Structure formats: structure tokens, C-alpha cells
A and B are shown apart, each in its own frame.
Chain A
């Protein structure tokens, strides 16, 4: 089973900016869109960013995504307590002919 690599945890105080990285390969991030999901405790995942840097309508612009080569990142600015959650990146993998998820990053608001 293949996964994209994310740092296990990230933290910040309210108002700070937090960045989460997602590392893959040429067969996934390098050649396909990256999407980001937020999973609050006990709930289903929610799409946060799609097509590398696009926000679903209604989503606050505190969340932003970017991609470069075989890596992607998610930034959360103006950190709030309600941002405490697990965050996952995902992309299609042309070699596997399937989707791969990131290992997940737990964001803690101090």
C-alpha cells in the first residue's frame, strides 16, 4: 500500500500561520491534481482544497494550497481553535491506477 508523506503533526497558537507538506512522486503529485481534506474528530472528511489550489465555494480564504513538482502544501492562516483536526492530501497515481492518500497531519491549536 502506497501513501503520500506528510509530517505527523503541526501546531500553532491562535492567529498564527501553519503549513503542512505532502510529498509524493512523479506518478502521483508530479502528474495529477492534489486535493486536501479536513477531518474533524468523529466526522467524515471534508474537501478543503481541490486541483492544487482551488477552494470550494463558501470556504474561508484562511486555507490555501500550492503545488510544486512532486510536493504540495496546505497553509492555514489566522489559526483558530476550530481548525484542530486531521488533514490529508490525496492524488491519483498513474502507476497504481488508483488514489493515494497522505499519511495525515494532526493540527493542534495551542
Chain B
């Protein structure tokens, strides 16, 4: 069974940093693009970042560009999101998702909550 499991969420002060991780299992991780998608409390879905299967290509939403860095370790089947200069607007549940623009996101993790507050 394909699974994605996020971790690393928590409470962080404004201006702080946090690193999220997503462990994949049940599929050939290095064959698929991976994304991070977030959802602020009571709000809709917002795409954050995508990385290609090999890890050489990345894209970011304007709202996080220059502050967030997506990366992957195909030897460990892990996807990471390094988040710096966090602000209240970054408070959200962060999901990792498998898929690309042609397939859609077929699999999602359960999400990890990031709360930015003093």
C-alpha cells in the first residue's frame, strides 16, 4: 500500500525556522514528482512547492519563494521542506503529495500542523 507520512510540524515563533519531512513507502519514490500543499485553518488548499523525480528541478509559490526550500533524498525515500522566516500567514496543515501536472496528486499524507505564533 502506498503511504506518505509527514512529520516535523509544531509551534514556532515568528521569524523562526522549521523543517518538515515526508517518508514515502509502497511505490517507486524516485519515479514521481512530489509536492507540498498547505491549508490554513478554515481556508482552502494552497500549493507550496514541487520537486521533480530526480530532485534537479523545483518550483515554488510566490508566497514562499526565497524562504522555503524543497528537497528529496531518493536513497531514503524522503521529501523535505525547509521553512525559514516564518510568519503568521504560514500557519497551516502541510501535506506532502505524490503526482504531477499530468496525473494529479494521487496520494496524500495525513498532514502536519505548523503554527507560527509568539
B106 touches A56 (CB 8 A): yes
In the complex, whether A110 has a CB less than 8 A from a CB of chain B is no
Bound Cα distance A102, B95 (Å): 17
Bound Cα distance A46, B99 (Å): 12
- The segment from B10-18, B19-27, B57-65, B76-84 that touches chain A is B57-65
B106 touches A47 (CB 8 A): yes
- The contact size tier of chain A is 20 to 34
In the complex, whether A27 has a CB less than 8 A from a CB of chain B is no
Question: 1/0 contact trace for B29-54 toward A, CB 8 Å?
Answer: 00000010100000011110010000
Least Cβ distance of B53 to chain A in Å?
16
A1 touches B108 (CB 8 A): no
- The segment from A18-26, A70-78, A93-101 that touches chain B is A93-101
A90 touches B108 (CB 8 A): no
For A101, the chain B residues whose CB sits under 8 A away are: 44-47
Main secondary structure of the interface of A (DSSP, over half): strand
Instruction: Determine which of B47, B50, B108 lies in contact with A46 in the assembled complex, contact meaning CB atoms within 8 Å.
Output: B108
A98 touches B61 (CB 8 A): yes
A51 touches B102 (CB 8 A): yes
B45 touches A51 (CB 8 A): no
Bound Cα distance A49, B101 (Å): 13
For B61, the chain A residues whose CB sits under 8 A away are: 1, 98
In the complex, whether A108 has a CB less than 8 A from a CB of chain B is no
Additional pairs, 16, CB under 8 Å, beyond known A32-B101, A56-B106: A1-B61, A3-B44, A33-B104, A39-B45, A44-B108, A46-B108, A50-B103, A50-B104, A90-B104, A98-B47, A98-B50, A98-B62, A99-B47, A99-B50, A101-B44, A103-B44
Give me 18 A-to-B residue pairs in the complex whose CB atoms sit less than 8 angstroms apart, sorted by A's number: A1-B46, A1-B63, A33-B102, A35-B105, A44-B109, A45-B95, A47-B99, A49-B104, A88-B44, A90-B47, A90-B105, A97-B59, A99-B35, A99-B50, A100-B47, A101-B46, A101-B47, A102-B44
